[in-house]
């Protein structure tokens, strides 16, 4: 009888210790989330603008979800399927593209910003030092400290190209097809978290959402499939 009771007590103690361990891990995760402030809306979210929220799945991986905006299409395999497997449904809207080009040229001096001379070359040359391009994108509810190189390249392309196809603009730390960790932005580390450290410079998820909407409007063709 005593041995039975001791076994039961040991089992109860084991369950208690396991519960405490899980509670500690949960608290660590919660404190990490609070510290990074990843539940707060990014600065791009203005009145009526988009709100991006981050959450942890387990203790390692993370995903981005969109709330409070019915027009947003969740980032899932179905989105990738829509972008890749049904190209015939995408049609270039030449009229809307021409209108957007005129809007951009009203805010951005393309010749000044993108012309490189021997005396003007500097670190971060690609318009990072000149914020005229931010004026246009701010009207689209996108106002980070610095626009990403990807969105700046779109700004350049919109002024000099007849049609734009974007490849590889995927700002999340996981593969949309396999869910495996990916190198984030231009860093080599895989599975990097999008936290306030990134938001201090860029708003990549918000840029992706904007580009996806432009894809739907026929302004640019987004391609997310793997390179051959």
pLDDT tens track for 152-188:
888 888 888 899 998 878 877 777 777 777 765 555 5
In angstroms, rounded to a whole number, what is the distance separating the alpha carbons of residues 221 and 164? 6
Its pTM surpasses 0.85? no
Is the pLDDT higher at 219 or at 89?
219
DSSP assignment string, 166-205: EES---SSB-TTT--B-B-TT---BT----HHHHTT--HH
pLDDT of residue 69: 35
Strand partners, 166: 222
138: closest CA among 45, 216, 211? 45
Is the pLDDT higher at 197 or at 151?
151
In angstroms, rounded to a whole number, what is the distance separating the alpha carbons of residues 182 and 179? 9
Rounded average pLDDT over 61-78: 38
DSSP strand pairing (165-167 vs 221-223): parallel
Chain centroid to CA 194 = 8
All domains in the chain, ordered by first residue: 76-223 (3.90.1480.20)
Chain centroid to CA 193 = 11
Name the catalytic one among 81, 177, 185, 202: 202
pLDDT(39) > 50 = no
Rounded average pLDDT over 122-138: 59
**Average pLDDT over the chain, rounded to an integer:** 64
Give the helix ranges, DSSP H, for 85-199.
94-107, 110-114, 132-138, 149-160, 196-199
pLDDT(223) > 60 = yes
Confidence of residue 149 (pLDDT cuts 50, 70, 90): confident
Is the pLDDT higher at 106 or at 41?
106
Task: Specify whether 202 is catalytic.
Answer: yes
């Amino acid at each position: 009888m005593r041995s039975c009771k001791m076994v039961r007590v040991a089992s109860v103690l084991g369950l208690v210790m396991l519960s405490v361990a899980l509670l500690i891990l949960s608290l660590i995760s919660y404190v990490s989330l609070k510290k990074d402030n990843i539940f707060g809306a990014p600065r791009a979210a203005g009145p009526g603008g988009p709100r991006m929220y981050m959450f942890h799945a387990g203790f390692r991986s993370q995903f981005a979800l969109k709330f409070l905006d019915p027009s947003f299409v969740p980032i899932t395999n179905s989105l990738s399927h829509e972008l890749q497997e049904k190209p015939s449904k995408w049609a270039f809207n030449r009229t809307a593209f021409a209108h957007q080009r005129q809007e951009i040229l009203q805010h951005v001096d393309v010749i000044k910003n993108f012309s490189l001379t021997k005396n003007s070359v500097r670190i971060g040359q690609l318009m990072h030092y000149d914020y005229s391009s931010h004026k246009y994108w701010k009207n689209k509810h996108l106002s980070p400290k610095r626009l990403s190189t990807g969105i700046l390249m779109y700004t350049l392309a919109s002024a000099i190209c007849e049609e734009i196809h974007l490849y590889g603009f995927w700002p999340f730390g996981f593969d949309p097809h396999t869910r495996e960790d990916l190198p984030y932005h231009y860093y080599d580390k895989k599975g990097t978290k999008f936290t306030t450290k990134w938001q201090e410079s860029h708003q990549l998820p918000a840029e992706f959402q904007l580009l996806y909407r432009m894809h739907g409007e026929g302004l640019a063709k987004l391609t997310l499939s793997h390179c051959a």
